[in-house]
Amino acid sequence: MEQDVIIAGGGLNGPALALALAQAGFHVTLVDARPEGARAAEGFDGRAYALALASQRMLSALGVWPAVAREATAIEEIRTSDGVPAGASVPFFLSFDRGELDEGPMGFLLEDRYLHKALVAAIAAEPKIRRLSGLSVTGQQADQEGISVTLSDGTALRARLLIGCDGRGSAVAGRAGIRRQGWGYGQIALVNALQLEAPHGGVAHQVFLPGGPVAILPLSGDRVSIVWSEQERAAARILELSDAEYLALLGEKIGHLTGAAQLAGERFSYPLSLSLAESYVAPRVALAGDAAHGIHPIAGQGLNLGLRDVAALAEVLADARGRGEDIAAGNVLERYQTWRRFDATSLALGMDVVNRLFSNHSPLARAARGLGMRAVAALDGPRRSFIREAAGLSGELPRLLQGRRL
């Protein structure tokens, strides 16, 4: 075989998986459709991630964390509130701080521009990884011995396994006959960064408004990332506002949480939807990250879910090879699917329910969610479960998420 594994997709999950597999001894080809340097933005580009503590441990185990640690902001506290359109808060309020978790902060905020750059640098230093930029996988054919892959420039590759990390519209999944289920939310995410006049203290806010949730996530330099989910019609009107008008409206919604602030960079937007692959595996094919599950950003768990896939898949493949198994055998890939599919689907559907429950004007729904938030705030069991889930410490953790190398 020319290589053990071909990975389609050069976002974050694909490079992280390539690095994990290479460090476990596999020879990997990473096919990245974006040209070299396409994600080398100097300023905030709309993408920032709430990395769970377990995800940070994984990046440490992969040797990536030291390159981004200075740009990461620890989440010292999470505050969740049920708001009203005018921006006033009601008493239904939850607060969790790092003192409630023995292991450390619940997570970190990190911008894409720093994380992607660090992953690319780590890949470049790994001799077992070949990265092909500006190309995409356009064909694949599995057989008993391996899988043949064709690239957009006509290059033919051969490997034991093809892994799709190529997003919600995964062409790898489509060619493998894997169907998807999902729906749109009728919401648009409005994303930007704000420069605050006062320190944010590492506090992350989630405010539930009738049109959708607003996340206020602490970034380095006393900036915050705003992820404002709004109904499509309202979002379309907001997108037409000038920066000054936008800031004024945002201030009406959440000004009591951020204080005086100015835009720090451009404004971005993207539609929100749910997308779930009906299977994570096919003959000599596996899916990870958004290729397997695209969820609502309401809890900031999208990248964390993808990194859980990466950690589980890398461990399954490494252990299989250690036992002398074919790493792409059906029973091997099924171990990965069994480990990951239920967890990811449950979280995706859970976030779907939360979004629908909170994104409305119904007094009955408002009363029900208020009771629920009070119950979680008052009971130690639910509080601890929430905190550990947010930190990525619940369930059967792969070794990488424990901070251990394969």
pLDDT confidence of residue 311 = 98
Strand partners, 193: 225
Query: What 8-state DSSP symbol labels residue 83?
Result: E
Q: Are 188 and 272 in contact (CB under 8 A)?
A: yes
Prediction pTM value: 0.90
pLDDT confidence of residue 106 = 80
Kindly compute the dihedral angle of the four CA atoms of residues 67, 391, 311, 315, in this order, to the nearest 10 degrees. 120
Q: Strand ranges (DSSP E) for 101-239? A: 107-111, 129-133, 137-142, 147-151, 156-164, 180-196, 203-209, 212-219, 223-231
Domains and CATH numbers, the chain: 5-69+112-182+274-373+396-402 (3.50.50.60), 73-109+185-272 (3.30.9.10)
**Cα-atom radius of gyration of the chain, to the nearest Å?**
21
The owner of tokens 């905190």 is 387
pLDDT confidence of residue 165 = 98
pLDDT confidence of residue 44 = 76
Q: Which SS3 state, helix, strand or coil, does residue 136 take?
A: coil
Q: How far apart are CA 403 and CA 406, in angstroms?
A: 10
The owner of tokens 């059906």 is 330
Q: Strand ranges (DSSP E) for 330-396? A: none
pLDDT confidence of residue 85 = 45
What is the DSSP track for 286-346?
EE-GGGTEE--GGGS-HHHHHHHHHHHHHHHHHHHHHTT--TT-HHHHHHHHHHHHHHHHH
Closest CA to 47 of 295, 311, 262, 302: 302
pLDDT confidence of residue 91 = 46
Q: Which SS3 state, helix, strand or coil, does residue 3 take?
A: strand
Q: Which SS3 state, helix, strand or coil, does residue 55 take?
A: helix
Closest CA to 221 of 325, 309, 138, 114: 114
Q: How far apart are CA 206 and CA 228, in angstroms?
A: 10
pLDDT confidence of residue 366 = 57
Q: Are 197 and 260 in contact (CB under 8 A)?
A: yes
Q: Is beta strand 223-231 parallel, antiparallel or unpaired with respect to 180-196?
A: antiparallel
pLDDT string in tens for the chain (406-residue length): 578 999 999 999 999 999 999 999 999 999 999 988 766 666 777 789 999 999 999 999 999 999 999 999 999 888 887 765 444 444 456 667 665 565 668 889 999 999 999 999 999 999 999 999 999 999 999 999 999 999 999 999 999 999 999 999 999 999 999 999 998 989 999 999 999 999 999 999 888 888 888 999 999 999 999 999 999 999 999 999 999 999 999 988 887 788 889 999 899 999 999 999 999 999 999 999 999 999 888 767 889 999 999 999 999 999 999 999 999 999 999 999 999 998 888 877 777 777 666 666 555 555 555 555 555 555 455 555 656 666 666 678 999 999 999 9
pLDDT confidence of residue 88 = 47
Q: Hey, what amino acid is at 229?
A: S
* Geometric angle at alpha carbon 377, from 374 and 381, rounded to 5°: 120
pLDDT confidence of residue 370 = 57
